[in-house]
Each structure stands twice: as structure tokens, then as C-alpha cells.
Chain A
């Protein structure tokens, strides 16, 4: 997982509330066997509509999403985060997130910042007045900035630390690598091993 400190990318105003994970990625895509390549699945139902924001030229390359309240509700599928990430999004801002979605995001390196509804409206207006404008997300200061407009966002300390350090769950555990190796050295030799394979007599 890459470290996240300061990132600048095209902002996308998504004027919808209650965007559930089924809308972020419909169930048909869950049959896949990969953890990447879900960019086509993101908001796939909405993307059939030429008017949808991600179908507008300056927003096609969006990397920072500003959405209405209650983003990521519904099924706990991690695929919702993968789809956003694979499309190119690095951060999502909303006044409220579903907890599980937020937890999944932190583990995959996607910043989810909570901003006030008033600030959401300000960011939407700034983006709509200047389509294709960039937003700078500063995780250290917890700010999102478009030109002169700068808003403060909230994120819990633990998730912030993980994102700044670029640690996924495995990365976190591997900080204890020495302890794992020490433990392995003390395991009795008779414990089961799958290799080399042994079989019952014929």
C-alpha cells in the first residue's frame, strides 16, 4: 500500500446522497476472481446515462470524489472500495459514511474524509463553476483545497496513521516479522507439514 500524504487530482461533484455499495458496484461483478480491474464496474448502472457526471469529459479522469451524505451504505462488499480505487479515486469526501465501507477504505489506501454539509455544498459549487478543477488533499493537515477554498476534514487518528505510513493489515503484521521468525524457530519438528506430500499406502 502506497503512503498517502498530499495528493492533487481532478475533483468530481457527485450530487447524490445514500450512495449504497450496490450502486457503487452491482452484485454481478462479485463473481470475478481478481482484486483489481473493477474500473468498468464502478457506478456501472449510472454510467449507462450519458448525463452521468463521470461521462462528462473533465470528470472522466476524476480522482477525488465529493458525495452527498451516507456514502457506502448497504452490503459490506470490499469490492466497492476496489472499484473506486481501480477507477483512479484516491479520496472520497462526504458528510457521513457507512462504518464498514470506511473501515474497508482505510485498509485499501482510500482516504475517506468527513466534511460538513455546508462545506460539501461549497466544494460542489467550486467544482461546478470550474469543471475539471483540481483538489489538493493534504492528509497531514486534514484539508481539501480548491484554489482559495480550503475545508477541514475529519479522519480517525489510527486510520490516518496507517495511511500516512502506507500500512495495510499485512504490512502492520509484518512489523512483527522478527517475532514470527522467532516463534517459528521454536515450533516442534513433529507438527504437520503438507510438503512433501505423503499418501496412504495403495
Chain B
């Protein structure tokens, strides 16, 4: 009997081991929950059909439509033929293989990473996969959640397992108290700026420390969501009372004695005292400012109070060259104050920041204020449920009065697979997770921001935080 202290990630891994890999071959892990959407699944289902294989566990699988779905006129046929074909294929496949699907117009439809937690399907200690890199979101519950490719989707559909190579663990310690106006989004943008977009490669990150403990589940999801932008395989937060309170009473959460048994197990999951991480990174929450990106990868970020850096600030020749390219693409001059950067569009949405708390926080800022002239403000709730909840709270009215577009749920301008795109050269403050060249439209320029910065920016027209608003104290 070994008593080696283990990390959260190692515990979840060990508890899902179906077969241990021999001579360097991967371990075979059981998958508790498989989430599916229209973009990465069609060929996986076709592969099953080709080989005459069934879906092993339709009862551990759930599908929703999000990447391609329109956020206006959702009752009209989808105009783009590729989008329409992918969505029709998903509906057809779900029917043929007996998989639960939440289609456009359904009350549970939404971004796949918003839907799973909302239904109470995402739980501590489980393994979650989805053909989408931001599956790391679900790690906020203390689940081991990973994005996979289309051939792996087929593999999970057929076997409910996945061969996986061992990982390393990294502790991200965030101690202290966030100042007003500073959020989970700022923590993760600062972490990525610190360790770089490749800094997490081969690692599962565990976010720890008092600042993480203080966060709500939704804020923890924002952080885990962007683990992938640091190159990590997954990101996790140990489950605690906040996690249990969030789950209790959700449609698929355990009930009665099952609940007690579950909580008892969940309480064993946090990393043991003395567990060894392969790497550790520390971040001081007390001194953190709102963080925004200036470049074309999520690691190219600075404090909002800072200026656009110069390529000469970077010693590494690759970073220097990347900064030069990014500044050219972003049409920014070194030394420009971040707060002087004017935007055309503000996008509040995506699986990073489209949950009810994000909408509430933004609405709180804009309430009774006027939108900057010429700025377009798009609000896209993460799911149909979030949209309904917001409407029940009157948030839709706040957004509409302000002059924002109140849209239907989906990925929308996070990646512009549907008609929600920026025009070439347009600049956006976006609460999404990727500021890659062309991500939000060909030639479009993206600054990643928190919902609070998004709201303040919509009022002032330039990148701003709530502290910059008139009457702010």
C-alpha cells in the first residue's frame, strides 16, 4: 500500500485507468462524459458507420449545436450551405445513434461548455472530453477535461475510452485578494502572459491559492477555459463547498443518499498535503490590474494601465519577431497607451465569459449610461437558459436600452463561423479567448478583455476599466 501524496489530476487519472500502458504505450482511460457539437463530429460518426460500430454509451454522450448557429433569426433556415450541412448531419447522426441532442431553438441549446455544467452533468472527479479545445473549462469542477480531435471522437464514441500519454502537473498559485474591477479573466490573461502560450505544454495545470478559493464556479470556469491558451492539456480547480453548492439541485446532480456518497468522494479529491508538482508558478492577486491583450496571441497581454510594448522590450528573438508581426497586424505603435486604443465593436460572449454572472457584471456597469457613438456592442448569451435567466432579471432591457444587440445563444463572434464577423481592419474588445489573426473575421483585430472592461469600453469607445468611468470612485 503506497501512501505517496497525490495531486488532484493524478487521483482522477488513477481512478479512470482501464488498462495501464506497457513499454511506453499510452494508458487507457475511461471517459465519463462525452460532449459533441456539429463541427468535429460528422466524420467520427461516418467512421462508425463505415466500420459497422455502434456508440458504446449513448447515455454518457450529449450533443448541442453552437459553432455554426445563427444568433439572429434563429427560426429561419441557415443560409450558409456548409453550416447547414454540418448541423443537419449532427441531427441525423444523433437520431441514428440514439444520442440526446439540444438543437437550435431548444431550451437547453447553447455553447457546449456552458450546457454541460448548467445541466449538472459536469462533476468533480470525472473525465470529460469533447472535440473542442476549450473543453478545459470543465476542469473548474475538479474534473479532468480535455479537448480531442475527430479520430479521437470516433474512438470515444466506439469504446468510451481514450488512450492517453501521461502528463506533468503544474501548480498555479494565486494568493491574495483581487481589487475591485479585477476578475478571473484578468488572472488567466496574466498567467498566460507570464508563462507564455507554450508554457503549459505537456502539463495539467491546477489553479490553487486563496484568490482561486474566493472565486465563484463561473469565474473558475473562465480561468480553466483558457488553460489551453497556455498550451496545457487541461486546467483544474479542486472541488470545495462552492462547487457542491453550485451542483446541488441541478438536473443531473446526484440526489439523496447518492448526493452524500458523491460529496464524500469529492472531498477526497483535492491534492494531498505534500503532493509534488512538476512545476510551480506564483501570482499575486493583490497587485493585479485589469489585463488586456495587444497582440495576436493570448500571451501578448499587459495591464490596461500599461502601454503597447516595443519589439525591443523582448530579448528572445522569436518573441521579438512575433511582437513585430503582431504590432503590424494590429496596426499599433509601441508606447501607445492601452487606454487610448479605440474599438469599433465590443463582443460580450463565448464559452469564456457568457454566463449569467458575466452578463450581470456587464449590465451593472452600463446601467443608465450611454454607449459610445459608432461602437457596436454585441451581447451573446452562452446558452438559451442563460438568455432566459437574463431576461427574467431584466438584463436584456438594460442591454437594449444601452444600444446593445441582444442575441441568441452560440459561439458567434468568438470564431465567426456564423455570420457574426468583423470586417477587415475592424477592431474589437472581446471577452472570448483567442485573438489570433483573422479569428473574428478576415483581417479583424481582437483585444481580449474581461466583461467589466468590455462594458466600460462600450461606454468610452476606447479600452477602459470601470474605474475610468465618470462617477467612479
Contact = CB atoms under 8 A, between A and B. Distances in A.
Contacts of B150: 78
Interface in A34-72: 34-36
A199 B123 CA distance: 17
A169 B155 CA distance: 7
A194 B60 contact: yes
Contact of A195 (B18, B82, B89, B100): B100
Nearest to A79: B43
A170 interface: yes
Interface residues of A, dominant DSSP: loop
Contact of A179 (B28, B42, B61, B154): B28
Given A31-B82, A189-B258, A194 B161 contact: no
Nearest to A173: B159
Nearest to A195: B59
Given A176-B18, A190-B258, A197-B100, A33 B46 contact: yes
Interface in B271-305: none
A25 to B, nearest CB: 14
B196 interface: no
Interface in B41-56: 42-43, 46-47, 50-51, 53
Interface in B84-120: 85-86, 89, 100, 107-108, 119-120
B259 A195 contact: no
B33 interface: yes
Interface of B: 18-19, 28, 30, 32-33, 42-43, 46-47, 50-51, 53, 58-62, 82, 85-86, 89, 100, 107-108, 119-123, 126, 150-151, 154-155, 158-161, 163, 250-252, 254, 258-259, 261-262, 265, 385
13 contacts: A169-B151, A170-B155, A174-B158, A176-B161, A179-B18, A180-B28, A180-B30, A183-B18, A184-B160, A189-B258, A192-B252, A194-B60, A198-B252
Given A187-B32, A192-B122, 5 more contacts: A34-B43, A174-B159, A179-B28, A184-B160, A193-B59
Closest 7 CB pairs of A and B: A33-B42, A190-B258, A190-B254, A198-B251, A35-B46, A194-B62, A195-B59
